[in-house]
Amino acid sequence: MSKKHILVVDDEEDILELVRYNLVRDGFQVICAASGEKAVVSAKEKCPDLVVLDLMLPGIDGLEVARMLKKDENTKDIPIVMLTAKGDEADIVTGLELGADDYVTKPFSPKVLTARIRAVLRRNITDIDEETPVLHIHDIHINLQKRIVLVKNKPVDLTYTEFQLLYFLSRRPGWVFTRSQIVDAVRGNDYPVTDRAVDVQIVGLRKKLGNCGRYIETVRGVGYRFKENS
């Protein structure tokens, strides 16, 4: 991971240098871009392992950059970590739905940003397209093929939609998913899945999981994530 190439995009020179300095110190190779236009060109020419993307850019803004990268066959698989101002929940949601992998709000700690980058790179290495038939996380055991859930070795009776929701979130712990992403992934036969229905399903699922329900975390204004193993 120490040889990974990171493209950092920000129009504020001091932030660009701060991020560059800390990433280089931590062993990454860094490419910098101060505008959306330069970011798109650099991403296509250099094909970095990850893009740190500020959303507030002159000209082509960060969301449009993300949209362009995700539509291009050569750059669509490059993970993106967004830099956003606090309170820009709508932009965070849009960015995640465009395919961004994570976000960090300004002002930020360089150590936190580096940790998020490393986490996303690890996910990119270990994630697979095929479904994982058996998951063990915290005190929860999920068997996809048998559709069995055990919490502290005790069976939990879940509806079809609750099971799909739990499996979807727990398969990628730490990832933040918007409600619409969850709707797209969870197709319930016993309950119509809509944005509002996701919240209802989460409440019911947490209740059935007992103390383990706390591992399903609400990300205010954005959606939900399953807590990573500590």
pLDDT tens per residue across span 30-55: 999 999 999 999 999 999 999 999 99
Cα distance between residue 80 and residue 103, in whole Å? 8
| pLDDT over 70 percentage in the chain | 89
Residues 12/56, Cβ–Cβ less than 8 Å = no
Question: 181-193: per-residue pLDDT in tens?
Answer: 888 777 654 555 5
Question: 77-124: per-residue pLDDT in tens?
Answer: 899 999 988 667 888 888 888 889 889 988 889 998 998 898 888 776
Cα distance between residue 159 and residue 204, in whole Å? 10
Walk me through the domains of the chain, giving residue ranges and CATH numbers. Answer: 5-126 (3.40.50.2300), 134-226 (1.10.10.10)
Query: Which pTM value belongs to this model?
Result: 0.73
CB atoms within 10 A of CB 213: 15
What pLDDT shows up at residue 128? Answer: 43
- Using alpha carbons, select from 134, 124, 132 the residue that is nearest to residue 102: 124
What pLDDT shows up at residue 88? Answer: 76
CB atoms within 10 A of CB 63: 19
User: Residue 229 gets which letter from DSSP?
Assistant: P
* Pair type for strands 177-178 and 140-143: unpaired
- What is the dihedral sign for C-alpha 199, 217, 138, 213? negative
Confidence check: pLDDT of 1 > 60? no
What pLDDT shows up at residue 77? Answer: 86
What pLDDT shows up at residue 188? Answer: 52
Sheet with strand 216-219: strands edge to edge: 177-178, 223-226, 216-219
Question: 115-131: per-residue pLDDT in tens?
Answer: 889 888 877 655 544 45
Which residues, 6+ apart, have CB-to-CB distance to 138 below 8 Å?
212, 215, 227, 229
* Rounded average pLDDT over 138-159: 91
* Rounded average pLDDT over 69-82: 92
